[in-house]
Amino acid sequence: MRIENPYDKRGTWLRGSFHNHTNNSDGWFPLETVYRMYADYDFLAISDHDKITDLDGERSIPTVFEAIEVSSREPHMLLVAPPRSILEGYSSEFSIVNYQRLADVTLDNGGICVLVHPNRYFSNYWNLEDMLQMERVTGIEVYNGDGNIEYDIAFDKWDAMLSAGRRVWGFGNDDSHVYGQEKQAWNVVLAEENSQQSILSAIRSGSFYVSTGFGFESIQTDDRQISIRLKSNKLLDRMYKYVTLFGKDGRVLHEETGRITEVTYSCMGDEGYVRVSAYIEGGYAAFSQPLFINQR
């Protein structure tokens, strides 16, 4: 058995959101205000609808990314670090061919492609069949902070794609448009350094997790065992945690609750993948990427 562990590397944990709007599209605030909303983040992408917003102006955020939210009347797709040439002959019309072409141009440029808010059923959602037809994407947005929580969570579609054999990472983003939507969900990335290249490279290899307020210290593996160390300090250690490990088809593999700081799980070999969700009293959570389990 071999466990593919995307967290088995050195680095520092960096916090950021890849999906945020300004008044260059339908956000309420100019770029400078959005920078201030996220002043303590390590990185931030600005992803206006069908536009690449110029990232000028003063900011305390060390790393910022140009991005674009491809916004058809049907599904939306987030491209981070697309080449500027993507705007030549640009169309946001939804077809798998057009969306995959835009994704490919971005991926070939070293950027990333995320299928966003797949379950926002009142508008711009993804059908699972269309998601599966997108052959090359970095991941899907499993947690979107824009308002109505029930529409913005997509763990079901993530498990469906993973169970179909697709290697897609889960993202958490605010999709912020107004005050009050900032810092609902973010990505915590294990990067070698705080630079565009290190962050994108860590993302491509799945070395990050999604947080809404809780976290992991580390996730370690040996031949068959996964050891998850939960975010720990004197205060957190006194609080109740609810940890669930999911495998193929969303099957619950293991659950532990209590004032725990660590969970270990011995793999059987038939899990397909193992992903971890950890909640702390109050509802804050951390969601790991899948660790793929190879039977031989």
Interface of this chain with Zn ion, residues 156 to 175, rule: CB under 5 A: 175
What is the closest distance, in whole angstroms, from the C-beta atom of residue 15 to Zn ion in the complex?
19
Taking the least distance from each CB to Zn ion, the nearer of 152 and 175 is 175
What is the closest distance, in whole angstroms, from the C-beta atom of residue 45 to Zn ion in the complex?
11
Q: Which stretch binds Zn ion (CB under 5 A): 62-70, 127-135, 236-244, 282-290?
A: 62-70
What is the closest distance, in whole angstroms, from the C-beta atom of residue 207 to Zn ion in the complex?
25
In angstroms, how far is CA 138 from the centroid of its own chain? Answer: 9
Q: What is the DSSP string of 220-258?
A: EE-SSEEEEEEP--HHHHTS-EEEEEE-GGG-EEEEEEE
Measure the CA–CA gap between 210 and 173, rounded to whole angstroms: 8
Beta carbons of 126 and 115 less than 8 angstroms apart: yes
Taking the least distance from each CB to Zn ion, the nearer of 143 and 273 is 143
Interface of this chain with Zn ion, residues 1 to 60, rule: CB under 5 A: none
Length of the chain: 296
Beta carbons of 237 and 199 less than 8 angstroms apart: no
Measure the CA–CA gap between 229 and 177, rounded to whole angstroms: 34
* Distances from the Cα of 154 to the Cα of 17, 28, 144, 279, angstroms: 17, 26, 9, 17
Beta carbons of 70 and 92 less than 8 angstroms apart: yes
Nearest to 106 by CA among 76, 73, 61, 136: 136
Nearest to 15 by CA among 51, 39, 31: 39
Taking the least distance from each CB to Zn ion, the nearer of 70 and 263 is 70
Q: Which residue is nearest to Zn ion (CB)?
A: 76
Taking the least distance from each CB to Zn ion, the nearer of 69 and 152 is 69
Taking the least distance from each CB to Zn ion, the nearer of 15 and 117 is 117
What is the closest distance, in whole angstroms, from the C-beta atom of residue 280 to Zn ion in the complex?
28
Taking the least distance from each CB to Zn ion, the nearer of 76 and 275 is 76
Residue 168 has, within 13 A of its CA and on its CB side, a CA count of: 29
The site map against Zn ion for 136-155 (x = CB under 5 A) is: --------------------
What is the closest distance, in whole angstroms, from the C-beta atom of residue 175 to Zn ion in the complex?
4
What is the closest distance, in whole angstroms, from the C-beta atom of residue 250 to Zn ion in the complex?
25
What is the closest distance, in whole angstroms, from the C-beta atom of residue 124 to Zn ion in the complex?
5
What is the closest distance, in whole angstroms, from the C-beta atom of residue 93 to Zn ion in the complex?
15
Using DSSP bridges, classify how beta strands 12-17 and 43-46 pair: parallel, antiparallel or unpaired.
Answer: parallel
Taking the least distance from each CB to Zn ion, the nearer of 11 and 147 is 147
Interface of this chain with Zn ion, residues 174 to 213, rule: CB under 5 A: 175
Interface of this chain with Zn ion, residues 68 to 97, rule: CB under 5 A: 69, 76
Taking the least distance from each CB to Zn ion, the nearer of 175 and 271 is 175
Measure the CA–CA gap between 55 and 59, rounded to whole angstroms: 10
Count of residues binding Zn ion (CB under 5 A)?
Answer: 3
Binding region for Zn ion (CB under 5 A):
69, 76, 175
